[in-house]
Amino acid sequence: MTRTDVDTPTPSPAPRERRRFGSSGLGLGFVIKLVLVALVDALGVYGLLAAYAVGHWGIITTLAIGLVVVNWVYFSRKAIPAKYLVPGLAFLLVYQLFVMLYTGYVSFTNYGDGHNSTKSDAISAILLQNDRRVEGSPTLPMAVVQKGDELGFAVIEEDGQVWVGTADQPLEAAPDAVVQDGRITEVPGWDVLSYAQVIERQADVLELRVPVSDDPNQGAVRTQNGTSAFASRSIYTYDADADTMTNTDTGAVYRPNDQGVFVSDDGAQLTPGWRVAVGFDNYVAMVTGSDLSAYFFQVLAWTFAFAILSVGTTFALGLFLAVVFNDERIKGRRAYRSLLILPYAFPGFLAALVWRGMLNQKFGFINEALLGGANIPWLSDPWLAKLSVIGVNLWLGFPYMFLVATGALQGLPGDVMESARMDGASPARIFRSITLPLVLVATAPLLIASFAFNFNNFALIYMLTGGGPNFPDATVPIGATDILITMVYATAFEGGARDYGLASAMAIVIFIFVGVISWAGFRRTRSLEEI
Amino acid sequence: MRRIPRGLAVAAGVGLLLTACSGGTSEEPSASDTTTTDESSSPALEGTLTIWADETRVDDVKTIAEAYTEQSGVQVDVIQKASTDIGNDFITSVPTGEGPDIIVSAHDGLGGWVTNGVVGTVDLGDKAGEFSDAAVKAMTYDGQVYGVPYAIENIALIRNNAIIQDTPDTWDAMVTAAQATGAKYPIVIQQDPTNGDPYHLYPLQTSFGAPVFATENGSYTNELAMGGPEGTAFAEFLAAQGAAGILDTNISADVAKEAFLNGEAAYIITGPWYVSDFTAANMDISVLPIPSAGGQPAQPFVGVQGFFPSINTENPLLVNDFLVNFIATPEVQTQFYELQGRVPAMTAAAEGLSDPILLGFNEAGASGAPMPAIPEMSAVWEWWGAAEADIISGKAPADERWATMITNIQSAIGG
Amino acid sequence: MASDVATVRGQQTTLEHKPPRSRWWREVGWRHVIGVVAIAYCLLPLLYILSASLNPGGSLTGSNQLFKTIDFTNYSDLGSTDFSTWAVNSLIVASVTAVGTVLMCASAAYAFSRFRFTGRRATLTGLLLVQMFPQTLAFVAIFLLLLSIGDVFPVLGLNSRLALIAVYLGAALGTNAFLMYGFFNTIPRELDEAAKIDGATHAQIFVTIILRLVAPILAVVGLLSFIATYGEFVIARVVLQTPENFTLAVGLYNWAADERNAPWGLFAAGAVIASVPIIVLFQFLQRYIVGGLTSGSVKG
């Protein structure tokens, strides 16, 4: 992005003439630039400090590189195109590219239901979930005590005797403790914490387990409110050195495996597991795993059909209406245009919901009011459902194309049209030979964008048909109107366990797929325009 | 030799060996005495709690939370989440520390939360006995209690008294009598053209003896139980009712409600959530148990609503205080009932019920089956509903379609 | 107003040439017929929503008698919800995003259209490809990204409208830069050349010449971006977490997501009001969109 060719205005040392434009050396523009870059720098430096404070090295690196690039670009006399590209590209890199890369990373992990967090989270969840009140254990009044930094519990036994202990020190009698009105007020050698102090250290207090005795089977004293205690016992114990979970009832030992879960020698697993990298497992599962592959090509074919037909129909109708209303003699042109834009003014998912109701076979407005009580299964017949999806998308999408085409028509060179008309060319011929090619040049990239949008048009399918009607024999919840992205959603999120790893892998595959195809299409459109 | 604390040790022995005599436990002081004194003398708490609730509960939870703030000085932020997202957002957010301290929800997501290790535990202690058995059981997963219940909800048969006054014993008798009145629909049960609605059909299914999962010691196993001749019989019943036009997949929730509101339907099977609309329209209705279609008792799913703590909270003490010392009190439970119109989970509060509509729902739910909370359940819904829709609309032969569904679910849950 | 001028001009033509009725039909009249049909197609579902919004117990199926009741309860009930907050949020988010998108895309399109530099084709192709990425499946990544950013810049973290705007701006170049680029290419380069000879810098050419000539496409892109942002809810509901920060789309989605007691009447009323800003904006921008270039210097 550094080399500029002859097109760019090379700053000439001695401009010959300055009729309309003054020097830009230190003018208003420069001041604005200076202020803006200074602002960015200030924010960047603040960010660097803040990121350093929380130890976010990824953000520090990104920010540092970003700041260098911004300052270089805007204070260099070269790199003129970069001055125009940097703001947009910065947002793009952070919010799009990073998201893509991160999705790529997730696709190589088993992130999903049952593997939701880190290993240490999983260990504490397993210990907590299996930490049960020892059956029949009484609730005893207690106080939280402290010696130096170490927390401990002081418990009043039923006989009035006070016992004190810490995580490492099982309960011991403290005969000199003072109890007033059922509350422990003083324990020699310990500071009794006030309630406010307990709240300050509440996480530690609730995590603390004070063994009842040296025998671990008798459980440990814990509290849930800082004022009363009971004995509880976790069925599992974690040995940090050996990295194993042991079931204290059966003695079974569970070891972590490479799938991010503790598993015993006989194959029993403990939930939850944790996130680990699983290599290409998700990609392999896509091909071999379920019966997904059996329906993949069917869904793929429909996805293409849907995307192409959506672009085709909306563009055709939009351009047609734009041409029709591109005549100054039409009275009320403005009103027509305003009304035609209305479907676009409604949030798309809402429109899909409304259409869903209107297309109800028996009670829908279309069948009952418009077609006089017809019984057409608009959404439950596989082919009609496809037709309905295209029809609703046409309604949703043509105003967009109408707008774009209207704008494009304004940009057509009037003189060319005029001379063609003078030469006696018919309107149809003018349209075919001049209007359409020129409009296509302006909108071709847009049509590809629209293709991409519809290829991934999740909201419409999800809200209108939910992918249904389902293939009755399919062993995966996939239906006749499912496109790739709703299929991924259904299999990765709705078929029971949510599997972000698998979903990400599928997203990457879809991306590569549609990317290659669009890229090929894009190269072909080069015949229509010069890049 | 070290002495060990007597009460704790004896109690531990009871729990561990299950053979010790009960001498140790009998002399324990009543724990609630000490708890009460502690409560009254404990200084004001401070801090902030964040609670997630979905759109159906958020306003009532806010009202309750304000009362708690007044009483304890703890600031409570109640945040509304969409009911479709709340459970999954909880799973995603809790490990990042962005999750709430407490989530208010029906119990059916509990299995997923436990499997993902995002929900914390609650020790109800002696208070467990103050709740109805079903409610505590619903808050329990794999032997551990994870929440404090506040209400129970289930569907029932609702009768438009202006059309008919029968209290039917069987489905067929009900349909015959209702048809005789000349009402446009004898009964409406909401469905969806592609996704059916297994929840609203479940009482009919159980009346054929085909529960969704087998049970063991009162809790669900992941063994599918709706196959076999009982399941097929139910499928055949659906096909017959569909062919006769009694069940219709085009009757969406909206249509069903409108039809009943307009006096076009003699009966509707629905839950308390629509009843306020019916009573607001000054309809004369009665709430009755759902009649049996297959000879056995019709058991609707019973959903238990509760407050569940997050495993990852900065204020575990406050959370516990809120759950155990506030939500689990008869006053708050009664207040919830007054706000929400659902049967309270606490026996003391439920005993005070006098509203015939709630009593009706309570009676209809007495025989109900708790909604399965095991994670496998989420895999079941979609197959189940689609199959029922196909059978009702006559798109596929009942027995075959039902068998396909069973195969599909089994492969989906790997069971 | 441009179209008023157009109408006047049209009338003058009629007066001068007095075309016969048949010719009027052939050249103009049929366009009205098509217009009426197209508008019927457009409006039918909208009338349905309007009707539902005027029915206090309104639903989205089953109420097929349009305008059976006319009752503004739903509209007055909106006052007791967070609706107005959401509307303000939506307007802020959509406006800022639209302005940012227009500025960034216009600059980028200018660079692509007027300069030849290394990596230009690759960047263009890259932009095209980036938009193919299925964002719907990437919400986990967006969530975690904002979580990290929020540690450093809290205003750009989760549950921030500014963060949502930033995410939208990240996607801005993908689609709209191309649309602009196409239009920039239709502006003759001779204009730049002439200005360059007059001593203009690249910035002056961009601001004083090009931007004025491409005003219609700026308006179109601004409008498209505004509308797309305004109705977006998949990303917005991941980013925005508390009702006071919701946009209209997220708020309405939450109403519709209620499986049992979805307030359809309220929802419909909200949707009707929500569409007003778009309609107003379109009215305001229409003159730029359809009238902008006709009297511009390109023609001369």
Q: Residue B126: helix, strand or coil by DSSP?
A: helix
CB contact under 8 A, B194 and A466: yes
Picking from C62, C255, C260, the nearest residue to B255 by CB comes out as: C62
What's the whole-number average pLDDT of chain A? 83
Average confidence (pLDDT) over A398-405: 85
Q: Does residue C265 share a domain with residue C117? A: yes
* DSSP symbols for B240-297: HHHHTTSS-TT--HHHHHHHHHTT-EEEEEE-HHHHHHHHHTT--EEEEPPPBSSSSP
Q: Does residue C279 share a domain with residue C177? A: yes
CB contact under 8 A, A219 and B144: no
Measured between CA atoms, the residue of chain C closest to residue B253 is C260
Q: Hey, is the C-beta of A508 within 8 angstroms of any chain B C-beta? A: no
Mutate to test the interface with C, among A48, A334, A362 (most CBs of C within 10 A): A334
Average confidence (pLDDT) over A421-438: 83
Q: Does residue C241 share a domain with residue C108? A: yes
Q: What is the pLDDT of residues A270-316, one digit of tens each?
A: 888 999 999 998 888 877 766 667 787 888 899 999 999 999 999 99
Q: Does residue C34 share a domain with residue C171? A: no
Q: Report the distance separating Cα B124 and Cα A266, nearest Å.
A: 35
According to the model, what pLDDT value does residue C298 have? 35
Q: Which amino acid is at A282?
A: N
Q: What ipTM was assigned to the predicted interfaces of this complex?
A: 0.81
Which candidate, B242, B245, B276, places its Cα nearest to that of B401? B242
Percent with pLDDT over 90 in chain A = 15
Tell which CATH classification among 1.20.58, 3.30.1420, 1.10.10, 2.60.40 matches the domain A28-106.
Answer: 1.20.58
Measured between CA atoms, the residue of chain A closest to residue C121 is A531
A368 CB neighbours in chain B (<8 A) are none
Residue C173 lies in a domain: yes
Q: Does residue C242 share a domain with residue C160? A: yes
Mutate to test the interface with C, among B59, B84, B155 (most CBs of C within 10 A): B84
CB contact under 8 A, A468 and B115: no
Q: What is the pLDDT of residues A158-215, one digit of tens each?
A: 888 888 999 888 888 888 888 888 788 888 888 998 888 888 888 888 888 888 888 7
* DSSP symbols for C219-271: HHHHHHHHHHHHH--TTHHHH--SGGG--HHHHHHHHHH-TTT--HHHHHHHH
CA distance A120 to chain B (A): 11
**Which range marks the domain in which residue C103 is found?**
80-291
Residue C39 lies in a domain: yes
Q: Report the distance separating Cα C271 and Cα C263, nearest Å.
A: 12
Q: Does residue C49 share a domain with residue C96? A: no
Binding partners of B (≥3 Cβ pairs within 8 A): A, C
Residue C9 lies in a domain: no
Confidence band of C11 (pLDDT split at 50, 70, 90): very low
CB contact under 8 A, A330 and C28: yes
Residue C8 lies in a domain: no
Residue C278 lies in a domain: yes
Per-residue burial over A86-124, b if 16 or more Cβ lie within 10 Å, else e, is bbbbbbbebbbebbbebbeebbbbbbbbbbbbebebbbb
Q: Hey, is the C-beta of A24 within 8 angstroms of any chain C C-beta? A: yes
Q: Does residue C118 share a domain with residue C190? A: yes
Which candidate, A337, A440, A431, places its Cα nearest to that of C291? A337
Here the CATH number for the domain that contains residue C223 is 1.10.3720.10
CA distance C261 to chain B (A): 7
Q: What is the pLDDT of residues B274-286, one digit of tens each?
A: 888 899 889 999 9
A212 CB neighbours in chain B (<8 A) are 4-5, 8-9, 12
CA distance C208 to chain B (A): 48
Distances, alpha carbon B141 to alpha carbons A133, B109, B137, C45, C112, in Å: 15, 11, 8, 47, 61
**B102: β partners:** B51, B309
Residue C91 lies in a domain: yes
Picking from B11, B43, B112, the nearest residue to A136 by CB comes out as: B11
Which candidate, B43, B390, B392, places its Cα nearest to that of B240? B392
Tokens representing C162 are: 């500014």
Residue C299 lies in a domain: no
C53 CB neighbours in chain A (<8 A) are none
Tokens representing A54 are: 């929380």
Q: Report the distance separating Cα A373 and Cα C157, nearest Å.
A: 53
Q: Residue A328: helix, strand or coil by DSSP?
A: coil
Helix %, strand %, coil % of chain A (to 5): 55, 15, 35
Q: Which of residues 63-92 of A touch C (CB under 8 A)?
A: 80-85, 87-89, 91-92
Q: Is the whole-model pTM more than 0.90? A: no
Regarding predicted confidence, which is higher, C241 or B178? B178
Tell which CATH classification among 3.30.70.20, 3.30.160.40, 3.30.9.40, 1.10.3720.10 matches the domain A290-525.
Answer: 1.10.3720.10
Number of structural domains in chain C: 2
The CATH superfamily holding the domain A133-234 is D-maltodextrin-binding protein, MBP (2.40.430.10)
According to the model, what pLDDT value does residue B23 have? 35
Q: Does residue C160 share a domain with residue C59? A: no
CA gyration radius, chain A: 35
Q: Does residue C235 share a domain with residue C198? A: yes
Secondary structure (H, E, C), B187-207: EECCCCCCCCCHHHHHHHHHC
Tokens representing B335 are: 């207040």
Residue C10 lies in a domain: no
Tokens representing C152 are: 């450093």
Confidence band of A496 (pLDDT split at 50, 70, 90): low
Picking from C63, C243, C255, the nearest residue to B258 by CB comes out as: C63
Which candidate, A443, A437, A441, A459, places its Cα nearest to that of A403? A443
- pLDDT per residue rounded down to tens, chain B (415 residues): 345 555 554 443 333 333 333 333 333 333 333 333 344 344 556 788 999 998 888 889 999 999 999 988 889 999 888 887 888 889 988 998 889 999 999 998 899 899 999 999 998 888 888 998 888 989 999 889 999 999 999 999 999 999 999 899 999 999 999 999 999 999 999 998 888 899 999 999 999 999 999 988 778 888 899 988 999 999 999 999 999 999 999 888 888 988 999 899 999 999 988 888 899 889 999 999 999 999 999 999 999 999 999 999 988 888 998 999 899 999 999 998 888 888 899 988 888 788 899 999 989 988 888 899 888 888 788 789 989 999 999 988 999 999 999 988 888 777 4
A112 CB neighbours in chain C (<8 A) are none
Q: What is the pLDDT of residues B97-109, one digit of tens each?
A: 889 999 999 998 8
A522 CB neighbours in chain C (<8 A) are 125, 128
Strands, E assignment, A3-139 = 131-133
Mark out chain B residues that contact chain C at CB-CB < 8 A: 54-56, 79-85, 92, 96, 98, 252-255, 257-259, 261, 271, 273-274, 277
Q: Which of residues 112-151 of A touch B (CB under 8 A)?
A: 113-114, 116-118, 121-122, 124-126, 128-141
According to the model, what pLDDT value does residue B162 have? 94
Q: Does residue C252 share a domain with residue C107? A: yes
CA distance A115 to chain B (A): 7
Which candidate, B334, B348, B192, places its Cα nearest to that of B255? B192
Q: Does residue C180 share a domain with residue C88? A: yes
Domains of chain B from N-terminus onward: 44-153+303-366 (3.40.190.10), 156-299+375-413 (3.40.190.10)
